[in-house]
Amino acid sequence: GKRYYTTKAQFGESGRTHDIVIECHTGGSKEPRLYVRVDKQVVLQVKHLMWKFRGNQTIQVDGASIQIFWDVHNWLFNPTHGHAVFMFQTSGDRISNSDRRTDNAAAVPCQPLPPSVLQWPPPSVFNIRGHDKTFFKTSSSSSSSS
């Protein structure tokens, strides 16, 4: 199958708003792949997704470094009820060791989310202007990586 999610985001306080598309190909004759597009340009392609279902990569948007984190394990191995997680972090953001999670707690929050966190139900469009970090959670989707 093919999954397609779209949103808008502004990276940094003075940046312009960008269209973000996350597209995942999981079925058919091709190996699963994940694509992330910013303003219609592919900025991330993850091949061999069955082995690279979690990862991160730094991209450049308007001259700024943006790190993309993804976890699409459940999209691939539990597609009926699976969630995927995507986070975009600008180079100025810092995540302390206490903020890092090694379990699945980030995928299913137990407490109110901060303003910089966005839950993304499938398929939806959100305007997340002014947030440096975004968190996407989907209940039925797939992805691939490069």
Question: What is the β-pairing status of strands 64-71 and 127-128?
Answer: unpaired
Task: Find the domain containing 66 and state its range.
Answer: 2-96+113-138
Helix (H, G, I), strand (E, B) or coil at 99: coil
- Residue 129 maps to a domain: yes
Cα–Cα distance, 73 to 84 (Å, whole number): 7
The pTM assigned to this predicted structure is 0.62
Tally of domains in the chain: 1
Q: Each residue of 111-123: b (16+ CB within 10 Å) or e?
A: eeeeeebbebeee
- Residue 117 maps to a domain: yes
Helix (H, G, I), strand (E, B) or coil at 120: coil
- Residue 145 maps to a domain: no
Residues 6+ positions from 93 with CB-CB distance below 8 Å = 132, 133
pLDDT tens digits for range 23-79? 998 876 678 999 999 999 999 999 999 999 999 999 999 888 999 999 999 888 887
pLDDT tens digits for range 71-129? 999 888 887 777 889 999 987 654 444 444 444 334 444 455 555 555 555 443 334 44
- Residue 108 maps to a domain: no
